[in-house]
Amino acid sequence: MFNILLIDDEADVKDVLEKILHSVDCTIKQEKDTRKALSRIKEGKWDLILLDLLFKENAHPVKTQRYGEKLSQYYGLEILEESKKKYPELGIMVLTVHEVKECLRKALQIGAYDYLVKEFDSEFRCEHIYQKIKHYLEVIHLKKENGRLRSELRKFEATQEIIGRSKKLQKVLELARKVADTDCTILIQGETGTGKELIARAIHQMSLRRDNPFITVDCGALPETLLESELFGHEKGAFTGAIQKKEGRLNAAHKGTIFLDEIGAASPKVQADLLRAIEKKEITPIGSTKPLKIDARIIVATNVNLEDKVKSGKFRKDLFYRLSVVPIHIPPLRERTEDMSLLLEYFLRKYCAKYKFPLKRFSHQAMESLTKYNWPGNIRELENLVESMVTTCEGKVIGHEALPDKFKATPDTNNLSLRTRVRSFEKEIITSVLEQNNWNCAKVSNILKMPPRTLGYRIKKYNLAKNRR
């Protein structure tokens, strides 16, 4: 459905145009008062403006000669010029009773998309009007669809570094996509190493601010005075060591996004100033009395429970509500174990390529141990482990024995029978040798001094083929 605004003081023009465009999916609204034209243009999302150039003498408060004596009666030119100044992307077709060349030339120079001659008693002219408007709206539709597809592609690309298919992670990404094009403040909560900054960057890249700065500030890494200076800036001589003027990060993020990590560590003074910055959209540098207007989208993150800090009086309640307009909780790695294989493969490829090693993989037993581990450091801990394993382990398979001791904890086996222990040990050995030799059964049979038929039986018995990669 297209929305068309007709600016014309003749009452019957709207009815005629609706008949001409009966097969086009559009609605036409009319404004007869030229004095209200600009406000009507501003109030709606119009796909097309149809603007009459010649109004009655009393239709305009002042008769000007802005375009010379010949064109002084064409009040629509003034509306056209003001509209294009304020809304340069707006599509405007001008309507005229006669093809006055000077007037139409001026209209096109100002920025009119095209012109239409109001000869509604002519079948040829009516068909001409229909075809021109229909073609323009088709172009607009294609542009909108192209813009939508570009937006979807941009959002897809922005989340490519966020690896995982678990329902909990997909829920986070879905929410991030929904709020990306808004300017609301966002509170990202999650344990250390879960990827809070990665989510913040993705939101910025998906937003309308993506072409402007993304500024990060670690509130937990700076003492109060330095954090205040980093966020709000300072004047020369504002304090000892302020040898020159410094721009604050909130100002440096103009038209972009500022990401405040570990916001829970901010002092009461910084909290108060940040609240004012959010409410007033302005900051006052240290040592200055002149406030500066800011335009930055604010995203904050924390690995602590801010609500608990609010209850204990260590964090301002009003600031908490301002920051948590949209709360996003990132699940820890232990709650998304189905993403483990994807993450391991991603980091293995990344670091094998970085250090120019052949692609490696973890053995089945090593994978089981990694999946069962609690991961207090989350994805950051996982990535560091993979980089270490890639650089220190020889061969293409990283076995269980190569893992650090904390991954080798085994369950209590005191109550297990000898037969169960032997089977478990046998399964582990066969699995390890198969993986190390790329499942070359003839070679494995020779190494283990086991007849091929017996090896095949053991593979089937222990259901090893399902874990083959």
Rounded average pLDDT over 434-445: 84
CA distance 273 to 229: 11
* Better pLDDT: 150 or 439: 439
% of the chain at pLDDT higher than 70: 91
The mean pLDDT value of the chain amounts to 86
Which residue, among 121, 109, 116, has the nearest Cα to 136 in the 3D structure? 116
CA distance 17 to 120: 9
Model pLDDT, residue 156: 63
Q: Is the pLDDT of residue 324 over 50?
A: yes
Q: Is the pLDDT of residue 158 over 80?
A: no
Q: In what order do the strands lie in the sheet with 257-261?
A: 214-218, 257-261, 297-302, 186-189, 326-329
| C-alpha dist (Å) from residue 64 to 70, 112, 401 | 11, 20, 89
Q: Give tens-digit pLDDT for 45-80.
A: 899 999 988 776 545 544 555 655 544 456 688 888
Strands 292-293 and 282-283: antiparallel
CA distance 245 to 233: 8
% of the chain at pLDDT higher than 90: 46
Segment (H or E) for 141: helix 123-158
CA distance 87 to 200: 32
Task: Give the chain's domains with CATH numbers.
Answer: 2-146 (3.40.50.2300), 167-239+246-331 (3.40.50.300), 334-409 (1.10.8.60), 410-469 (1.10.10)
CA distance 234 to 227: 11
Question: Which residues does 138 contact at the CB level (< 8 Å), separation at least 6?
Answer: none
| C-alpha dist (Å) from residue 134 to 108, 119, 140, 149 | 20, 18, 10, 22
Question: Which residues does 314 contact at the CB level (< 8 Å), separation at least 6?
Answer: none
CA distance 379 to 377: 7
Rounded average pLDDT over 391-417: 77
* Contact (Cβ atoms closer than 8 angstroms) between residue 413 and residue 421: yes
* Contact (Cβ atoms closer than 8 angstroms) between residue 295 and residue 255: yes
Segment (H or E) for 464: none
CA distance 271 to 264: 9
Handedness of CA 204, 208, 212, 215 (dihedral sign): negative
Residues pairing with 196 in the sheet: none
Given pLDDT bands bounded at 50, 70 and 90, which one contains residue 302? very high
Tell me the CA end-to-end span of the chain in Å, nearest whole number. 52
